[in-house]
Structure 1
């Protein structure tokens, strides 16, 4: 028999840390878009890591491993931020894809095309996260703004490194 504590479901809980509920709710929706997008990018990056071939195999294999490991940690931090501001984090692949600005990889492409797509995806992430920083700053949620600001630089650098590898 399952313990009653195992039947509880994550739901909104009251937070009184200086940001109004409606503003936290808007930020949670923005963070859900970012987490969903980041999760799809994580999966695409793993796909490139597993399937890359050609003269840049070793460097792309190692680079994409660094990128997906970073995305894994960042996804966790951002999803936990949604919880910390009082709302439920996204659950499951379908929800991630529905909220994502990054399109899922549906078929295997030549290595240079997959990497070119990752470059574009990292730039999409930087633009999306920039919007998230603006939204957080607007309501004076400095913690969320700080967390997201760091991510912009990571995505810009990832795009640069990938672009330089296939140039």
Structure 2
């Protein structure tokens, strides 16, 4: 059936394009954070292992919320490494960085996702898409707070 939720096709597709980037960024940061959870070493091991687990679990939930919003807007959500590699702004780490490098890298990832979400706000506002705006606000809140907390761990 044709979708009829009060957002025209052009606006819906523009929102979905932005949400697809947000999904790719979120999934990529999820994978990176999970990797760091497994591979962190050093004197802060227990703290960071636990912190990274909390963060990747939150990102896992976010991935589902973003993908389901894309589906509610009538489009298919990207769901492959190949698609995510084309869409994401998050860079992969080479090798296993030190614990402090992991923290700094995750700060950059959290901030990148906050910027990705923020870049979509005007498009969602113009379409009067309050549901997407709510998701974007939630994502910016989480990523900005998480970046702040991670930054607090390094000088």
- 1:131 maps onto 2:116 in alignment: no
The match for 1:75 is: 63
1:72-105 residue CA offsets vs partner (Å, 9 max, x unmatched): 0000010010000000100211111210011122
- How far off its partner does 1:128 sit? 0.8
- 1:54 maps onto 2:50 in alignment: no
Distance 1:53 1:21 in 2: 49
- How far off its partner does 1:14 sit? 2.2
Structure 2 residues not aligned, in runs of 5+: none
- 1:113 maps onto 2:119 in alignment: no
* 1:23 partner SS: helix
- 1:146 maps onto 2:134 in alignment: yes
* 1:86 partner SS: coil
Assess if the C-alpha contact under 8 Å between 1:41 and 1:121 holds in 2.
Answer: yes
The match for 1:87 is: 75
Distance 2:146 2:105 in 1: 12
- 1:37 maps onto 2:25 in alignment: yes
Tell me the number of residue pairs that the alignment of Structure 1 and Structure 2 aligns.
155
Q: Could you tell which deviates more after superposition, 53-62 or 21-30?
A: 53-62
Structure 1 residues not aligned, in runs of 5+: 1-12
Assess if the C-alpha contact under 8 Å between 1:97 and 1:103 holds in 2.
Answer: no
Q: Could you tell which deviates more after superposition, 42-51 or 157-166?
A: 157-166
- 1:100 maps onto 2:69 in alignment: no
